[in-house]
Amino acid sequence: MKISSNSNLLISPIITEKTTLLQESGKFTFEVAKEATKDQIKEAVTDIFNVKVTAVNIINRKGKPKTFGRNRVITPGSKRAIVTLASGETINITEGT
């Protein structure tokens, strides 16, 4: 599947206790499309938030098996990107810019 634009590449920011601690050191976590590459993610964050990205790390999470009564299902997997910004750069995720 071809990704049509940068806004379709970044699905949502991930806000957890661990990621808020990472934000203090200039690292922001996003859920991204499964087909996204590091270069595409870097370009998308640069275009959307007008910041300089120094590194992108990717995490592929597999789905986990769950049991609901007699039914066994596998939750969907996801792809996350940890984006490191240049020193002095920041993103306000709660406002979107």
Which H helix or E strand runs over 31?
Answer: strand 27-32
Ordered by start, the domain boundaries in the chain are 6-85
- d(Cα 9, Cα 7) in Å, to the nearest integer? 5
User: Does residue 67 contact residue 44 with C-beta atoms inside 8 Å?
Assistant: no
| Percentage of residues in the chain having pLDDT higher than 70 | 93
User: Does residue 80 contact residue 14 with C-beta atoms inside 8 Å?
Assistant: yes
CATH of 6-85, one of 3.90.930.12, 3.30.70.330, 3.40.640.10, 3.30.70.3000: 3.30.70.330
Q: What is the pLDDT of residues 49-83, one digit of tens each?
A: 999 999 999 999 999 999 999 999 999 999 999 99
User: Does residue 44 contact residue 10 with C-beta atoms inside 8 Å?
Assistant: yes
What does the block give as tokens for 44?
């998308």
- Residue 93 — very low, low, confident or very high, per pLDDT cuts 50/70/90? confident
